[in-house]
């Protein structure tokens, strides 16, 4: 299917709905829902009688994408295409083929090896729709349920085209703090991404995951890409950062915010996340050799992640080990 570009219109009723699903049977009360309008004039375009969505970044360990429609005919067809950012650019949209989402869902195996996706519906179908929504169901949304905050939910910017895939298989974890305010919020995560992309000129947020002291886990740079958080070691480490300033000397309220205390939800977010990642990656061990604070990597000249987090490193590793053990038992 090849499309031509047309003027953008019909902006009043198209929304993106992000539901993070829990495990097992789902009732309405089990679902976490965030509804927002993500269409801005000029950011999307019509192609040959079709409306095409913004490019979406796929998460790591995606399981499937499901769609929901309200209004319109029950046989509305939803199309999708995958590729890199150059292939999905609005000015280079004629060379990529489109597929149909059968039974309003896309299985992860059908798009394996891809990091970006776009969706499309026919213009005639769209005019009768009240809402079209899509949901990225991943290992993270299933495990963390309401504590998981996907990129779509905090309105992440699209990465730059020069973002790098992994140079080798990752096998370690680098722990950081932002040395900023301890604000677990969409705005705080947006600020990190904006600083990294605009001030540092990086391709995306440097960290793969950002953790709040309330236990929220925000999806940062997609796990499909190498991070930018430990110079000289990015090729094999997953970057995890705590939102806040966790060093008692550096965080004295003058240059940096007042020190942030470790909380039980944050401690377990660190441990559970590392345990889940180790399980999905089939890592056999979680030790001080593959879970390190930023300052422990060779060449690092920093106090990051601060003495407070470092004091809890053994506890983080112990929780991660227990989580990995339980996940292995469940999978047996």
* β-strand pairing of 45-47 with 5-6: antiparallel
181-201 CB burial, b ≥16 within 10 A, e <16: bbbbbbebbbbbbeebbeeee
* 184 and 41 together in one domain: no
Q: Is the pLDDT of residue 271 over 90?
A: yes
Helix (H) or strand (E) holding 323: helix 313-331
Distance CA 102, CA 68 (A): 13
- Residue 41's alpha-carbon distances to 8, 44, 45, 150, in angstroms, are 7, 7, 9, 24
User: Considering the domain boundaries, does residue 149 fall inside one?
Assistant: no
* 183 and 131 together in one domain: no
What mean pLDDT do residues 207-213 have?
A: 97
Of the three residues 74, 109, 143, the one that is the final residue of a domain is 143
* 175 and 132 together in one domain: no
Going by C-alpha positions, the residue among 262, 260, 263, 265 that lies closest to residue 248 is 260
Decide if 117 contacts 104 (C-beta within 8 A).
no
Q: What is the pLDDT of residue 92?
A: 60
The encoded tokens of residue 9 equal: 């219109």
User: Considering the domain boundaries, does residue 148 fall inside one?
Assistant: no
Q: What is the pLDDT of residue 96?
A: 67
Count CB atoms within 10 A of the CB of residue 3.
19
User: Considering the domain boundaries, does residue 220 fall inside one?
Assistant: yes
Q: Is the pLDDT of residue 11 over 70?
A: no
Of the three residues 117, 143, 169, the one that is the final residue of a domain is 143
* 40 and 11 together in one domain: yes
Specify the number of domains making up the chain: 2
Q: Is the pLDDT of residue 93 over 80?
A: no
* 296 and 243 together in one domain: yes
Q: What is the pTM of this model?
A: 0.85
* 127 and 71 together in one domain: yes
Percentage of the chain modeled with pLDDT above 70: 82
* 106 and 184 together in one domain: no
Q: pLDDT, tens digit, for every residue of 105-160?
A: 999 999 999 999 998 888 777 777 777 788 899 999 999 999 999 998 999 999 99
| Boundaries of domain holding 158 | 154-331
Q: Is the pLDDT of residue 239 over 70?
A: yes
* 139 and 159 together in one domain: no
Q: Cα dihedral angle (253, 256, 257, 263), rounded to 10 degrees?
A: -120
Based on DSSP, count helices (H) and strands (E) in the chain, helices before strands.
6, 18
Q: What is the mean pLDDT of the chain?
A: 83
Q: Is the pLDDT of residue 23 over 70?
A: no
Distance CA 76, CA 78 (A): 7
* 219 and 91 together in one domain: no
* 190 and 275 together in one domain: yes
């Amino acid at each position: 299917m090849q499309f031509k570009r047309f003027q953008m219109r019909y902006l009043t009723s198209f929304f993106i709905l992000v539901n993070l699903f829990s495990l097992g049977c789902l009732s309405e009360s089990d679902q976490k829902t965030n509804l927002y309008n993500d269409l801005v004039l000029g950011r999307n375009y019509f192609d040959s009688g079709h409306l095409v969505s913004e490019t979406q970044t796929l998460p790591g360990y995606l399981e499937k994408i499901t769609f929901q429609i309200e209004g319109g005919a029950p046989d509305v067809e939803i199309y999708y295409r995958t590729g890199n950012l150059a292939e999905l650019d609005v000015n280079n949209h004629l060379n990529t083929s489109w597929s149909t989402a059968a039974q309003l869902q896309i299985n992860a195996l059908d798009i394996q090896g891809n990091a970006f996706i776009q969706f499309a519906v026919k213009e005639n179908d769209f005019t009768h729709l009240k809402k079209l929504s899509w949901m990225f169901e991943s290992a993270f949304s299933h495990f963390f349920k309401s504590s998981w905050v996907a990129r779509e939910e905090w309105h992440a910017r699209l990465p730059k085209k020069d973002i790098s895939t992994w140079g080798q298989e990752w096998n370690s974890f680098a722990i950081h703090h932002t040395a900023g305010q301890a604000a677990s919020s969409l705005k705080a995560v947006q600020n990190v991404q904006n600083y990294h992309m605009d001030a540092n000129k990086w391709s995306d947020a440097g960290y793969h995951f950002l953790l709040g002291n309330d236990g929220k886990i925000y999806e940062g740079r997609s796990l499909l890409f190498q991070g930018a958080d430990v110079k000289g070691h990015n090729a094999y480490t997953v970057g995890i950062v705590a939102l806040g300033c966790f060093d008692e000397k550096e965080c004295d309220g003058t240059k940096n915010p007042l020190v942030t205390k470790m909380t039980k939800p944050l401690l377990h977010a660190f441990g559970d996340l590392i345990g889940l990642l180790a399980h999905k990656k089939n890592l056999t061990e979680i030790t001080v050799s593959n879970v390190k604070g930023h300052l422990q990597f060779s060449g690092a000249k920093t106090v990051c992640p601060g003495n407070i987090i470092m004091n809890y490193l053994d506890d983080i590793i112990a929780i991660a080990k227990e989580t990995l053990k339980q996940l292995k038992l469940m999978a047996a």
